[in-house]
Structure 1
């Protein structure tokens, strides 16, 4: 399987975006399933505008996809992104036993979308 090569500028832009702990955590979450904005707010314990800002940056880089269902917006990992192979590899380095990840997962299902 051949990967399209990314420029240094593209790579460093991607690393800058995913280097934020909250954005990396969002990617870790959407690696496994699709989440609604309100679920991120509840699980991450941050405001809806802050969540939307993180999601916008990930979406601008096409790392995640957005799907509208009625008034809600749902997000998934974009496996067609040119950055996907690198992001997938980095996500594999972060185990599912990370303390913050486990704390966030415990809050899953608390949101009433």
Structure 2
């Protein structure tokens, strides 16, 4: 079994990072779906630079990873991150966010980047 203990200062830093509702919601979405920045721009009705800053913080922490597909970069949770087992416990307590992507699909505004 993996050691599920986490240092208090590390947990505090993760909580600070996820204390922003946008980043927390992004991480929950990314646990179920790979997404690109353009999809988050539509979901959050935010600017691309704003979304990119949130993505950068999550990526710098190692909680998400990127994969290039053609000209697009898709993001997903990094299940290999040393703290993933801590994070997934938190994410499992949150409501499903699939409706946000479904709303984009239903309105015809979900961007297909592939």
Match of 2:76 in 1: 76
For this pair of structures, how many residues does the alignment match?
109
Cα offset, 1:82, TM superposition: 1.4
Instruction: Report 1:1-113 matches (<5 A).
Output: 1-3=1-3, 5-96=5-96, 101=97, 104-105=100-101, 106-108=103-105, 110-113=110-113
Structure 1 residue 104 displacement after superposition: 2.4
Displacement over 4 Å in runs of 4+? none
TM-score w.r.t. length of structure 2: 0.85
Unaligned runs of 5+ in 1: none
Residues 35 and 75 in structure 2, CA contact (< 8 A), matched pair in contact too: yes
CA-based RMSD of the aligned residues comes to 1.7
How far the C-alpha of 1:91 sits from its partner, in A, is: 0.8
In 2, distance between residues paired with 1:27 and 1:80?
Answer: 15
Q: Cα offset for 1:5?
A: 3.5
* Uncovered stretches (5+) of structure 2, i.e. residues with no partner: none
